[in-house]
Amino acid sequence: MSIDLPQSAAPRVSVIIPSSTRLDLLRACLRSLARFGPAAIPYETIVVLNQATPEAEAQLREAATGIQVVSSSVNLGLAGAGNRGRALARGEFLILLHDDAEIEPGWMESLVETADAHPEAGAIGGKVLYPDGRLQYAGSILWREAITSAPWVGETPAPTAFERLRAVDYCGTCALLVRGTLWDFVGGLDERFYPVYYLDVDLAMAMRKLGFVVLYQPNSRIHHHQGASGNLSFREFVSARNRLLFLEKWGAALENHEPYERDSPAAVERALARADIFADRCRRMRNRTIENLVQPKKLNIAEQHARHVEKSRALQEAYAAHQARRSRRIFPRVVARSLIGTKLYEQARRIRNKIVMLLAH
């Protein structure tokens, strides 16, 4: 059965869906948008296929109507795909939506209504649930060390928690509305944060620098298959790598943030209060609007493609070197554990103890 989406001639909202190779997840995402997308808000849907094959693109075009499809044979990453989609977008508001997300009724309406009511908001995100209904995200905290965390400690709260509209440090790109003029003014998503992680935090910091806040709107809800694909070790490596890059870029600004304290409700409360204080200051400011004359930077597709071919190669080489270093550290411990209880192990222990005693004297 075909998935039929509206294609407005004058969209107010452009939904940009960067997609991976999981077409099953993408179809579920588009199906939810076709079912629960608003009738009263004109919108368009742009899908950016990363590392796409001609067969995958043909399957998508056959499965769904009313969408614009952009394909790239190289992995553009989330930022590159978002920027590629923005080059086609015509809406006043841009909404990034991950391909492994499924929306609930009222999702888009709540985001747009909040943007209309709060000119101080540069971006607005919503409540993110796991497919089984457990709470996944309700806005996030950014700490001084560029560590990020949920706005709670200990056991995950019930899905009905965090029901108040409030300012946050950032919301993830799994479902995030951004004002188009502000997106353009900050230069779009920073493609240095490749292929994922920290680009949403970076975007929030760029808007904060201009006096705009990020709001969390709990009435906008999605279900998100977090980490549905990809190697866990690779994801951890990329996250750590991009965190260092983020610290290089925003380290000075982070001095105003609280230091990370694991399992500290008091630290969380201080971080939430700081976000509220900043939002109050922004609401009192005047002349906040970004000039409508700001035009999207023209995207050079060939240059972007070549740049990401190099990015992908460099990242794979860096990860291979990381794995090699990790193996060299782990191998001696593995060997030592395997020798426990043998004569060789006991002999090595006696030699080590003698060396320690000699050094002590």
Mean pLDDT of 13-25: 92
47 shares its domain with 160: yes
Q: Residue 333: is its pLDDT beyond 80?
A: no
* pLDDT for 297: 74
End-to-end CA distance of the chain: 81
276 shares its domain with 350: no
Residues 184-215: tens digit of each pLDDT: 999 999 999 999 999 999 999 999 999 999 99
Domain assignment of residue 269, yes or no: yes
Domain assignment of residue 50, yes or no: yes
Q: How confident is the model at residue 75 (pLDDT cuts 50, 70, 90)?
A: very high
Q: Residue 21: is its pLDDT beyond 90?
A: no
339 shares its domain with 193: no
Q: How confident is the model at residue 339 (pLDDT cuts 50, 70, 90)?
A: low
For 65, the token pair is 């109507």
Max mean pLDDT among 20-24, 55-59, 79-83 falls in: 79-83
140 shares its domain with 97: yes
> What percent of the chain has a predicted confidence (pLDDT) above 70?
88
237 shares its domain with 352: no
Poorest-pLDDT segment among 106-115, 138-147, 239-248, 338-347? 338-347
Supply the DSSP symbol for 140: B
Q: How many other β-carbons are positioned within 10 Å of the β-carbon of residue 321?
A: 10
264 shares its domain with 331: no
Poorest-pLDDT segment among 41-50, 264-273, 317-326? 317-326
Closest of 55, 5, 54, 6 to residue 27, by C-alpha: 5
3-state secondary structure of 341: coil
Q: Residue 273: is its pLDDT beyond 80?
A: yes
Domain assignment of residue 185, yes or no: yes
Q: Residue 332: is its pLDDT beyond 60?
A: no
Domain assignment of residue 289, yes or no: yes
Residues 161-186: tens digit of each pLDDT: 999 999 999 999 999 999 999 999 99
Domain assignment of residue 312, yes or no: no
Q: Could you give the number of structural domains in the chain?
A: 2
Domain assignment of residue 356, yes or no: yes
Mean pLDDT of 27-55: 96
Amino acid at 220: S
Q: Residue 334: is its pLDDT beyond 80?
A: no
* pLDDT for 359: 63
Mean pLDDT of 117-124: 96
232 shares its domain with 321: no
Domain assignment of residue 291, yes or no: yes
53 shares its domain with 180: yes
Q: Residue 267: is its pLDDT beyond 60?
A: yes
Given 249, 264, 299, which residue is the final one in a domain? 299
259 shares its domain with 335: no
**CATH number, domain at 72?**
3.90.550.10
Domain assignment of residue 307, yes or no: no
In the chain, the DSSP E strands lie at 3-4, 13-19, 43-49, 64-65, 67-71, 93-97, 101-103, 121-129, 135-137, 141-142, 148-149, 166-168, 175-179, 213-224
Q: How confident is the model at residue 327 (pLDDT cuts 50, 70, 90)?
A: confident
183 shares its domain with 295: yes
CA dihedral 182, 183, 187, 189 (to 10 degrees): 150
Closest of 81, 69, 353, 115 to residue 214, by C-alpha: 115
Q: How confident is the model at residue 326 (pLDDT cuts 50, 70, 90)?
A: confident
284 shares its domain with 322: no
* pLDDT for 80: 97
User: What is the overall mean pLDDT for the chain?
Assistant: 91
Nearby residues of 258 by Cβ (< 8 Å), 6 or more positions away: 143, 144, 267, 270, 271, 274
Q: How confident is the model at residue 325 (pLDDT cuts 50, 70, 90)?
A: confident
* pLDDT for 72: 94
* pLDDT for 350: 73
DSSP labels, 110-133: HHHHHHHH-TTEEEEEEEEE-TTS
Q: Residue 329: is its pLDDT beyond 70?
A: no
Q: Residue 293: is its pLDDT beyond 80?
A: no
114 shares its domain with 242: yes
pTM for this model (two decimals): 0.89
| Domain with 14 in it | 3-299
* pLDDT for 231: 80
